[in-house]
Structure 1
Amino acid sequence: MSRVKLSRLPERTPIRISVHLLPDLHIRLEQYAVAYEESYGEKIAVAELIPAIIDAFLQSDRDFSRRPKV
């Protein structure tokens, strides 16, 4: 059987994680959500932005990206 061009999708089942934030970080995240809304005209909850923020941070960390994948 031939394969399609798109490779197999990765695991997409969300994992729930609870974290405690210091008040100043929470305020900055709320400010970021406001800036996001001003930029794109779409209001997004802080909780929905956090995974994208973490992903962008990890992708931009050059030293981390050079480490062997586990």
Structure 2
Amino acid sequence: MKVKGDIKDRGNIKWTALMLPEHVRHLRDWQAEDELVPEPGLTEFDMESMQLELELAYKRQIDTMVTKQKEIIN
């Protein structure tokens, strides 16, 4: 609960009783979407850095785990 001066602001909580459940769901989805931060793509430097790390791990015979970031396609 935010306090603005002497007024306690409850945000969307006070309005949910006046909204349809579909509207509330869409508002929550929209708010969650705003919180997502798109991951930047890999640059040439990043790719080269990963290549060097993998080559070093291969030469030293070290177990290595590579994970792929899930891409979101609109």
Structure-1-length-normalised TM-score: 0.31
Larger of the two Rg values belongs to structure: 2
Structure-2-length-normalised TM-score: 0.30
| Larger proportion of strand | 2
